[in-house]
Structure 1
Amino acid sequence: MSLAEQQMSLIKLTTEQMSITRSSFAISALLAKKLKPFSDGDFIKECIETTIEILCPENKALFSAISLSARMVTRRVEEISSNIKGYLKEQASHFQYYSLAMDESTDVSDTAQLAIFVRGVRQNFDVTEEFASLVPMKDTTTGADLLEALHRVLRDYNLSLANLTGLTTDGAPAMVGDKRAVVSLIEKEITEFGFPQKLVKTHCIIHQEALCAKSFSFQDVMKVVVKIVNYIRSRGLKHRQFKTFLAEMDDWDGDALYYCHIRWLSRGDMLERFYNIRKEIQIFMTDNGKEFPELNDVTWNCDLAFLVDISGHLNKLNTQLQGKNQLINVLFDHICAFDLKLNLRLSQLQNANISHFTKLADSHPIELKKYISFLFDCKWNFLGGFQTFAPIKMHSHCLALRSLRMSTTWKLIFKWS
C-alpha cells in the first residue's frame, strides 16, 4: 500500500471515529432532554442495529461501534453539562449587568430544589439567558439558607452583587416574606457593600397569572367534574373499562385527563376533554350506578362550556408568557392584550354576542347576565393581581418608546436621503 493510500485510509478511519463519537453525544443529549433513563441507550442501539441490518447490512459494523451503554451515556451527559457550564462561565465573565430568577420547590423525594436562572448583558448588548444551577437544599430552606446557596452559585460563575440589577422569585415566604427573606437579605447586602444600583424585584409573572386564573372558576362546575374524573382515573378497573367503552364508541379523544390543583393549566386540558366526551361519560357513569343529575342540567352544561372557553384563553396567555429571551415589555404587551380581549369579550356578551365563546355558543344559553358579571369580576381581579408590576411598568414603556423613536428616526433618515 502506497503512502497516499495509507494516509487516505487513516483519514477515513479518523472521520468514522469522529462521526461515531458525535452520534453517541447526540443520542445521549436526546435521552437527557427527554428525561429518559440512561439505560435506554442499550435499547436504542438494539433498535438501530435491527434497522440497519434490514436497510443497509453492509454498514452494520459502523453503527454497532456506537457506544450507548448506561455508563457511556452518563459520561456523555456529564461532558455536555460541563461544556455548557464552561460556556456560561465564559459569557458571565463579560456581563456588564445581570438579573436572576429563583424558584424553590420540593421534588418527589421530599428534597427542596432551588433552581437559579441568569440573564446577563454584555457591553455590545448581546444577551445570554441560561439555567445556572439546581441546588438541592438538604436541610432547612430559610432566607439565610437560600442566600448561602445563591452565593455559592455566584462565586462559581464569578458574578458580583455589584452588577445585579433584577431579581425574580416565586411567592414562598423564604423568598419574599419579612426582612429575613432572601430578597430583603440581598438588598441589605447591596446597601452594606455600598453598591449604587436599586434592585428591581418582581414576582414570577407566570405564577402571578396562575394566582389570578384561580378566580376563573365555577366551583359548582369544577366540583362535579373533578369528582367524576377522579372516580374514573383513580380506579384501575374503572379506568380500563372507560377506555374500552370509549373505543367501542369510536371516540377520538380517548380518555379523561386527571386534574391537578397545583398545576392549574391541567384544568383547561381536563375541562375541554371532559366537555368533548361528556355524553359518553354520562352513559358510562349511569351504567356503573353513579348518577350525576348535573350532566342533564342545561344551565350546568352552559356553565361548563363557558368555563372551557375561558380556560382556553388563559392557557393561550400562559403559553405566550413562556419561553426564553422575552423582554419585560413583551410580557406586558401580552398581559395588556389579554386585558383588551377581556374588555372585548365583556362588551360582546353585553350585546348578546357569543361568537368568541365557541363552546358556549354550541350550548345555546338562555341567560348571559351571570357570565357578564363573572367576566367583570375576573377583569378587576386579574388587573389587581398585576399591581406589583406597577413600579417597572414605566421601564417597559420606555423600552417600547425607545424602539418607536429609533424606528421613526430611521424612517426620517431614509426619507431625507
Structure 2
Amino acid sequence: MYSPRESCSRFPSCMLDLGEEEKTFPDSETVKECMLAVVDEVINDEKIKVSVTCAIENVPLSDGSNIRRIEVLASDVFEMLLDDLKKTDVMSIAVDESTDRTDNAQLCIYVHFFDGKCFREELLGLLPLEGHTTGEIMFEKISAFFEDNGVDMKRVCMLVTDGAPSMAGKVSGLAAQWLAVAPQMKTLHCIVHQTVLCAKLSAELKTTMDSVMATINFIRSTSSLQHRLFHMLLSEMSAEHHDLLLHNDVRWLSKGRALERFCDLKEAITAFLCNSRQKKAETYLNRIMDNSFMASVCFLTDIFKLMNDLNLGLQGRGKTVTELVEQMHVFQVKLNLFETDLSTGRLLHFPKLRKCTSSPTQVTDVMTDFIVRLKENFLGRLDGLALPTEVPETHLVFQQKATCPSEQRKWSLPLTRGSSYWNLLTCHHP
C-alpha cells in the first residue's frame, strides 16, 4: 500500500476537491473519518484493512495542515500566473467593487490575456478596501498591487468597469487615473450590467413590482408560523414549488425568477390569503384578484424571463466583446418582434400574459411603452458598440481572394470556437 510520503502527495488533490465544493477546512477531518468508517465496513480481510487504515490515517487533513497546504498551492498558482503576465505584451482588466457579508468592501480584479497558446481569464486579485471607496483609493490599491508583483500597468489595453462614478468618473474615477498612466488604454462599461440598466421599470410597473414583493414578504417574513402554514398549504395542494422566492437587486436574475414563482403559485397564494386572519391579507388578496394587476405581473414575468435569457447568454468564460455585442444586437431586433406581438394581441412570446388575459384589450399602453423604452435604451447603449458590416476598400484584394473557390480551400480551418480560432488562424497564416 501507500507509504506516508505517498499518502501526503495525494493530499493536494483532496483539498482541491474540497475547495471547489466550497467546504470549510475542518470538513476534511470529517471526510477522513468517513473514509475510515467505510474501510471498516467494506474490507473484511484484516491485513488489507489495517494497511488501508494506516494509509488513510497518514494523510494530514487537520485544520492547520489544510491552511498551510492551500496557501502553498495558492502561492504557486499565483506565481505561475504572474510569470505568464510578465511575458505578455497586452492584457485586459475587469474590476468590480462590492461588499461581502460582513460589510467589508472588496475589489475584484480579473485579467484576460494571451499566454502564447490560448486566451485565458483569471482572477488576479481580491483587494480589501478600508473606509472610503473612491476612485483615487482604488487606483492606489491597484497600483501598489501591480508594483509589488512586477506587472506593468502600461500593458493594460482595456479596462472594464461597472460604470459607477468611482470607476468611470472622467476626473477622479479609476478609469481616469489609469488613463494617465496608460493613455492608449480603452475603457468599457460592463455589457451585462448595461442590459440590466436598460430594463429600468416605469412608475406604474414599479408599483406593480413593489406590490408583488410586498405580498411575498408578507407571507414569508411576517412570522415563522405564517411561513410554515404556507409550506403546509403548498404540500397539501401538491404545488409545483415548495416556497416563494425573495428578490435582491444585487442578484440580477432574481427579479424574473421571483415573478415567475409568484405566477406559478398564484392559486396557493390566493387560498392562503383568503384563510389568513391578518388585516393586511385582504389588501394583498384584492390586488391578486384584480385582473389588470395580474396582467401587469404576467407581463413583467414574461419580459424579465426574456431579459434573464439574454443575461445568461452574455455570461460565461471565453466570451469576446464582439460576441456580446452581437447578442445585444440580436435581442434589439427581437424587441421589434415583441412590440408587434403585443400590439396585435397575439402574445406568442408572452405565454404568462396570454394565459392570464381573456382579451387583447388587457394589453395596456404601459406594456407597449415599456417595450418602446427598452428599445430606446438598447439603442442608446449600443450606439458606440456597432459592429462593422462592410469590408473596407483597403481589404478589397483580400475580399476577392476569400470569395475565390481555390482560395477558400486555403482558408478552411477546423471548427473552433471563440478566441481559439484566431490563435489557429495565426498558425496557418502568419
> Which of 209-218 and 232-241 deviates more?
209-218
Q: Which residue of 2 aligns with 1:195?
A: none
CA offset digits 1:173-220 (Å, max 9, x no partner):
2211241222111112235xxxxxx22111111221221223378223
Q: Which residue of 2 aligns with 1:13?
A: 2
Structure 1 runs not aligned, ≥5 long: 1-11, 192-197
Q: Distance in 2 between matches of 1:304 and 1:278?
A: 11
Q: Distance in 2 between matches of 1:396 and 1:116?
A: 33
Decide whether aligned partners of structure 1 residues 262 and 251 sit closer, same or farther in structure 2, where only a CA change above 3 A counts.
same
Q: Does 2:275 correspond to 1:283?
A: no
Q: Is the 8 A contact 2:82 2:151 kept in 1?
A: no
Q: Distance in 1 between matches of 2:296 and 2:368?
A: 12
In structure 2, which of residues 378, 383, 390 is the aligned counterpart of residue 382 of structure 1? Answer: 378
Q: Distance in 2 between matches of 1:178 and 1:321?
A: 27
Q: Distance in 1 between matches of 2:6 and 2:67?
A: 19
Instruction: Give the aligned CA root-mean-square deviation in angstroms.
Output: 2.9
Aligned-partner SS, 1:218: helix
Q: Is the 8 A contact 2:401 2:407 kept in 1?
A: no
> Which letter does structure 2 place at the counterpart of 1:372?
T
Identity of aligned residues (%): 28
Q: Distance in 1 between matches of 2:320 and 2:353?
A: 35
Q: Which residue of 2 aligns with 1:206?
A: 192
Q: Give the aligned length.
A: 391
In structure 2, which of residues 4, 9, 23 is the aligned counterpart of residue 36 of structure 1? Answer: 23
Q: Distance in 1 between matches of 2:214 and 2:148?
A: 49
Q: Is the 8 A contact 1:20 1:63 kept in 2?
A: no
CA offset digits 1:21-59 (Å, max 9, x no partner):
43x323322333333322222223333333343344634
Q: Does 2:161 correspond to 1:174?
A: no
Q: Which residue of 2 aligns with 1:413?
A: 407
Structure 2 runs not aligned, ≥5 long: 412-430
Q: Does 2:214 correspond to 1:227?
A: yes
Decide whether aligned partners of structure 1 residues 260 and 66 sit closer, same or farther in structure 2, where only a CA change above 3 A counts.
same
Aligned-partner SS, 1:27: helix
> Which letter does structure 1 place at the counterpart of 2:172?
R
Q: Which residue of 2 aligns with 1:75?
A: 68
Q: Distance in 2 between matches of 1:312 and 1:129?
A: 28
Decide whether aligned partners of structure 1 residues 236 and 38 sit closer, same or farther in structure 2, where only a CA change above 3 A counts.
farther
Q: Is the 8 A contact 1:226 1:259 kept in 2?
A: yes
Q: Distance in 1 between matches of 2:18 and 2:410?
A: 56
Tell me by how many angstroms 1:328 deviates.
Answer: 0.3
Q: Which residue of 2 aligns with 1:85?
A: 78
Q: Distance in 1 between matches of 2:145 and 2:389?
A: 29
Q: How does 1:6-405 map to 2 (within 5 A)?
A: 13=2, 17-18=5-6, 21-22=9-10, 24-56=11-43, 58=49, 59-122=52-115, 124=116, 126-191=118-183, 198-215=184-201, 218-234=205-221, 235-289=223-277, 290-291=281-282, 292-366=285-359, 367=361, 368-370=363-365, 371-387=367-383, 390=384, 393-394=386-387
Decide whether aligned partners of structure 1 residues 381 and 66 sit closer, same or farther in structure 2, where only a CA change above 3 A counts.
same
Give the TM-score, by structure 1 length: 0.84
> Which letter does structure 2 place at the counterpart of 1:262?
V
Give the TM-score, by structure 2 length: 0.82
Q: Distance in 2 between matches of 1:357 and 1:88?
A: 47
Decide whether aligned partners of structure 1 residues 337 and 397 sit closer, same or farther in structure 2, where only a CA change above 3 A counts.
farther
Decide whether aligned partners of structure 1 residues 165 and 61 sit closer, same or farther in structure 2, where only a CA change above 3 A counts.
same
CA offset digits 1:105-144 (Å, max 9, x no partner):
122222211111111224x463222110000112332222
Tell me by how many angstroms 1:321 deviates.
Answer: 1.3
